[in-house]
Chains A and B, each alone.
Chain A
């Protein structure tokens, strides 16, 4: 089995690499948590790319049931076919629609299966998948058939901590918490995404970014993905590092702040803080 070492578009810190490789080597699910925007979902895409496997994604919503990941029995089509006298109606297997898990189990080569935002579902959802993820098999009642994984897929599960996950489920997973990247890692991430960016601009942008993150009382702190968006905007608008550095008292908040601050209250708050800051400076 190949080891995951990060890719040319994704900076994986050493602890993340160890966690992913442990999950690959032991064929256990990997549960990834972390602040929104720190690259949890992207991780699965990059793992699939890094070790050259197919990716199957299953996005969880509040209405998703565990059964939907296995298969669904489309009784309504069968009823309609029955009324229309279609021949297919005699074989129930025609109306079993495979779910994402089934798809992953049937793949000829072990794929990467992403179960995205598992905490959005009902509290019992993870419990309903215990056996399926542990033994990598399940039973289809309608056709009396057991579906077994040909190759155990690499399962990556993300959670935003909206609900607590049950212990029994956690025990079966490896766990990794993606910490918010420090400045050094952030620099690497930016280098990976914008290789030709002027060093100064990155420096100034990062300074402003970390300043904003430290402002007390922000409703939504900007995260990695927002920083990348903002830098993209700075590039498009061709804003020079000098503009970022000279904090013109007339402009209290950074240019194009819309990419970083997603909430009008935060913008107000930031204006207020910047105002206070300026007054302090003026007084000193």
Chain B
């Protein structure tokens, strides 16, 4: 039963094992989902998927296996289709049809709708023309226009099973990070620096013995705070351009680092550090963080890790205005030196294999600026970098 479904899930890199499959079978046997495709979908999802990042992939495979539909290649084209299909389900009473006449008749309405769908490419809310929610356009949901056509907000819209997994609601959660991060985590653990902070709740054996002896043999307990990892880390990730080849390993590193450090703050940059970096790679032009502000905010006790291939034109490092993104008043070298000066414990991790480093001039330049603190982004390299980060200067 469902062997091909399981095989396809595994092919789509949803980590399903025999154990989950047997769980699903057991649940089927116990009639948790009784003869209802939608319940079966929910059951299969709760039993087989263990991480929200895989939900979208699961939805695609499920749709493919149980409907025979093609996986939508371009997510943009899939949305208007969905809306049109919901429209077709619209059940109209005579009264409602008369209301529609107010806008020039059903045909006219559908025609206008089709046109607007063609013009509109994204979801929309508010406004008075576009299709979406909460607007006053005749199309969309929750609007004020009495002739309005509701799209996708009908009661009982769960009735048709296909829609649930065709909605692709979990697309945003799929960041395609493989779970092979444990090795990197172990390497990052080298950077543990334990410090006693917080409430005293651990028995201090030596102290207790000493103090009990002082107390003529009557027990006198001494407590100390527990040891915790007190390392604080700023992570700078190069995005875009030549870094595209290394996305996977960078995501693994990031994913491992996120779970290993309590104080981890990440920023993105492009090629070289200039006067500002950004927090969210999709909103890079909107939400910039000035590097000076960053230096003021995070003190010297933070360690920094820069991840980038350092492969660029030498001008991008040594000339003002060399940035490929926009005009920079001071050259990248100045900003890099400023950063290395502000944070004495810093390393640069490079996903380009070490043996090719001599072939690119800019890599040599950054190695010089960083005083040879560049390490390859391999397990061994991360290990060496973490040792280096423990040392001062």
Contacts and interface: CB of A to CB of B under 8 A. Distances in A.
Interface of A: 14-15, 18-19, 21-23, 25-26, 28, 30-31, 33, 62-63, 76, 79-80, 83, 123, 162-164, 167, 170-177, 179, 183-184, 203, 207, 210-211, 214, 216-217
Given A26-B32, A171-B17, A210-B125, A18 B46 contact: yes
A63 B228 CA distance: 9
Nearest to A16: B42
B30 interface: yes
B219 A79 contact: yes
Contacts of B126: 211
A21 B33 CA distance: 9
B27 A171 contact: no
A83 B181 contact: no
Contacts of B45: 15
Contacts of B299: none
A210 B47 CA distance: 32
Q: In this complex, which of B32, B170, B221, B287 has the most chain A Cβ atoms within 10 angstroms of its Cβ?
A: B32
Contact of B287 (A31, A62, A167, A217): A217
15 contacts: A14-B39, A18-B42, A22-B33, A22-B43, A25-B27, A26-B26, A26-B32, A33-B52, A63-B201, A171-B50, A174-B46, A183-B142, A211-B125, A216-B283, A217-B287
A210 B135 CA distance: 13
Contacts of A177: 52, 55, 170, 173
A210 to B, nearest CB: 7
A179 B172 CA distance: 11
Given A175-B49, A176-B46, A217-B287, 10 more contacts: A15-B45, A18-B32, A18-B39, A22-B33, A22-B47, A76-B221, A164-B181, A170-B50, A172-B19, A210-B125
Contacts of B287: 217
Contacts of B30: 25-26
A95 to B, nearest CB: 15
A210 B132 CA distance: 13
In this complex, the interface size class of chain B, counting residues with CB under 8 Å from chain A, is 35 or more
A214 B123 CA distance: 12
Given A18-B33, A21-B32, A217 B286 contact: yes
Interface in B1-56: 15, 17, 19-20, 23, 26-27, 30, 32-33, 38-39, 42-43, 45-47, 49-52, 55
B154 to A, nearest CB: 9
Contacts, number: 99
A218 B87 CA distance: 34
B142 A123 contact: no
A163 B39 contact: no
Most buried by B among A76, A167, A175, A184: A175
Contact of A210 (B15, B134, B170, B203): B134
From B51, B55, B158, B226, residue with most partner A Cβ within 10 Å: B51
B219 A14 contact: no
B356 interface: no
B153 A183 contact: yes
A28 B19 CA distance: 12
Given A25-B32, A26-B32, A164-B255, A76 B46 contact: no
A41 B30 CA distance: 27
A170 B39 contact: no
Contact of B50 (A31, A62, A80): A31
A30 B47 CA distance: 10
Nearest to A180: B169
B137 interface: no
Interface in B94-126: 125-126
B91 interface: no
A104 to B, nearest CB: 22
Contacts of A214: 125
A30 B280 CA distance: 32
Contacts of B311: none
B27 A207 contact: no
A50 to B, nearest CB: 16
B136 interface: no
Contact of A63 (B38, B50, B226): B226
A15 B32 contact: no
B160 interface: no
Nearest to B154: A184
Contacts of A63: 201, 226
B186 to A, nearest CB: 11
A173 B32 contact: no
A21 to B, nearest CB: 6
Given A26-B32, A33-B52, A183-B153, A171 B19 contact: yes
A21 B39 CA distance: 11
B133 interface: yes
Given A22-B32, A25-B27, A217-B283, A173 B50 contact: yes
Contacts of A164: 179, 181, 255, 259
A19 B46 contact: yes
Nearest to A178: B52
Given A76-B203, A217-B283, A179 B38 contact: no
